[in-house]
């Protein structure tokens, strides 16, 4: 499953969906809004292109690594500290390929998916420049 949504998600639901007979291990990455001076953040996306790019990343990871399942969900909208941002769930017969695929997916998301982040602090707000799409304030 590939999804870009404004709705929160339950990580346990995605982990449970990856519990298929072929998977001997499930590796997950869950990104959350951390408290490092940020009060909230806005995430914007070119949703149709983001979904296409996430699908391409998933498909490339499935070819490159011997894994059985990869699900990716990415939030957009206004998020506060503690909210989920992104989740990647990789199921594989063996752990090493699941870890490698999960790392590959998050690295590629940061490089190429058109999702932009604006961080809000007590001092103001700024767009966070990304490798894939720098924005100015």
pLDDT per position as a tens digit, 55-81: 999 999 999 999 999 999 999 999 999
- The range of the structural domain enclosing residue 67 comes to 2-123
Domain count, the chain: 1
What is the value of pTM for the model shown?
A: 0.90
Asked, for residue 88, whether it belongs to a domain, the answer is: yes
- Residue 12, exposed/middle/buried by CB under 10 A (0-12, 13-18, 19+)? exposed
Contact 94, 80 (CB under 8 A): no
User: How far apart are alpha carbons 90 and 102 in whole angstroms?
Assistant: 6
Asked, for residue 44, whether it belongs to a domain, the answer is: yes
The yes-or-no verdict on residue 136 having pLDDT over 70 is no
Residue 81 DSSP SS3: coil
Q: What is the pLDDT of residues 24-39, one digit of tens each?
A: 999 999 999 999 899 9
Asked, for residue 135, whether it belongs to a domain, the answer is: no
Q: What confidence tier does 124 reach under pLDDT thresholds 50, 70, 90?
A: confident
Q: What confidence tier does 130 reach under pLDDT thresholds 50, 70, 90?
A: low
Nearest by Cα to 132 from 57, 75, 30: 57
Give Cβ neighbours of residue 53 (< 8 Å, ≥ 6 apart). Answer: 112, 113, 114
Asked, for residue 130, whether it belongs to a domain, the answer is: no
Q: What is the CATH number of the domain that holds 28?
A: 3.90.1170.40
The yes-or-no verdict on residue 135 having pLDDT over 50 is no
């Amino acid at each position: 499953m590939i999804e870009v949504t404004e709705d929160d998600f339950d990580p346990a639901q995605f982990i449970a969906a990856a519990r298929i007979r072929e998977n001997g291990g499930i590796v997950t990455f869950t990104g959350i809004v951390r408290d490092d001076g940020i009060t909230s953040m806005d995430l914007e996306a070119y949703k149709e292109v983001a979904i296409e790019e996430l699908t391409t990343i998933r498909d490339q990871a499935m070819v490159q690594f011997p894994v059985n399942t990869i699900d990716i969900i990415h939030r957009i909208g206004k998020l506060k500290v503690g909210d989920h941002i992104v989740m990647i769930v990789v199921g594989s017969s063996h752990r090493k390929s699941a870890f490698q695929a999960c790392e590959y997916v998050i690295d590629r998301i940061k490089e190429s998916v058109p999702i932009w982040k604006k961080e809000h602090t007590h001092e103001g707000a700024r767009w966070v420049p990304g490798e894939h799409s720098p924005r100015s304030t």
